[in-house]
């Protein structure tokens, strides 16, 4: 069994006739508004109320989320236990070494900083000011944004 709130996994044997109540996990689209210290504020798109969420509830991929992006906030009985950022985001490169014409070697990357402050490995031809698409689940560069 997996505890959806703590993430703890427990091995247990059950009698085949045992009955269990269903656990209803609420997954709601909320817009990331801003952060204040360790609290990140998300706005409910229906009621416009702000929900503070502790930084410990955010996954690693949240470093690619910027203000006004929509995320899925998961809760059980009103207690938030997780946040899912969008799977793919488009961000602008703010800092990296300049690319040079002819740098087309395969699988050669360089570090680049995106507008959220996160660092990602990009191909050599990417320049500051370029927009790129990133997979937030892996933190990898996918392609140049159109």
Residues 51-61 pLDDT 10s: 999 998 899 99
Do the beta carbons of residue 42 and residue 49 sit within 8 Å?
A: no
pLDDT at position 109 is 85
- Among 5-9, 19-23, 142-146, name the one with the lowest average pLDDT: 5-9
Per-residue pLDDT at 103:
56
CATH of the domain at 130: 2.40.50.140
pLDDT at 51: 92
Claim to verify: residue 52 and residue 93 sit in the same structural domain = no
The tally of domains found in the chain comes to: 2
What whole-number distance in Å separates Cα of residue 85 and Cα of residue 103? 33
Residue-level pLDDT at 78: 84
Query: Residue 12 contacts by C-beta under 8 Å, 6 or more apart in sequence?
Result: 1
pLDDT score of 82 more than 80:
yes
Contact in structure between 119 and 141 (CB atoms under 8 Å): no
Kindly indicate the confidence band of residue 99, based on its pLDDT and cuts at 50, 70 and 90: low
Tell me: do 71 and 111 sit in the same domain. no
**Same domain (yes/no): 33, 50:** yes
Lowest-pLDDT choice from 1-5, 26-30, 48-52, 124-128: 1-5
Looking at the structure, tell me whether residues 74 and 116 fall in a common domain. Answer: no
Q: Which domain holds residue 67?
A: 26-84
49-76 exposure pattern, b = at least 16 Cβ within 10 A, e = fewer: eebebeeeebeebbbbbeeeeebebbbe
Q: Is the pLDDT of residue 5 over 80?
A: no
Quick one: pLDDT band at residue 106, thresholds 50, 70, 90?
low
> Between residues 100 and 49, which one has the greater pLDDT?
49
What is the percent of the chain where pLDDT is above 90?
A: 55
């Amino acid at each position: 069994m997996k505890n959806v709130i703590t993430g703890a996994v427990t091995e247990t044997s059950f009698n085949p006739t045992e009955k269990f109540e269903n656990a209803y996990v609420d997954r709601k689209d909320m817009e990331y508004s801003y952060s204040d210290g360790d609290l990140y504020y998300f706005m409910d798109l229906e009621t416009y109320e702000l929900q503070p969420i502790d930084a410990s509830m955010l996954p690693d991929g949240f470093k690619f989320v910027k203000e006004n992006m929509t995320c899925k906030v998961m809760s059980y009985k009103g207690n938030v236990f997780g946040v899912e950022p969008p799977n793919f985001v488009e961000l602008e490169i703010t800092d990296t070494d300049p690319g040079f014409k002819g740098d087309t070697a395969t699988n050669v990357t360089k570090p680049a900083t995106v507008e959220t402050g996160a660092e990602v490995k990009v191909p050599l031809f990417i320049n500051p000011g370029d927009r790129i698409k990133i997979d937030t689940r892996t933190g990898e560069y996918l392609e140049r944004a159109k």
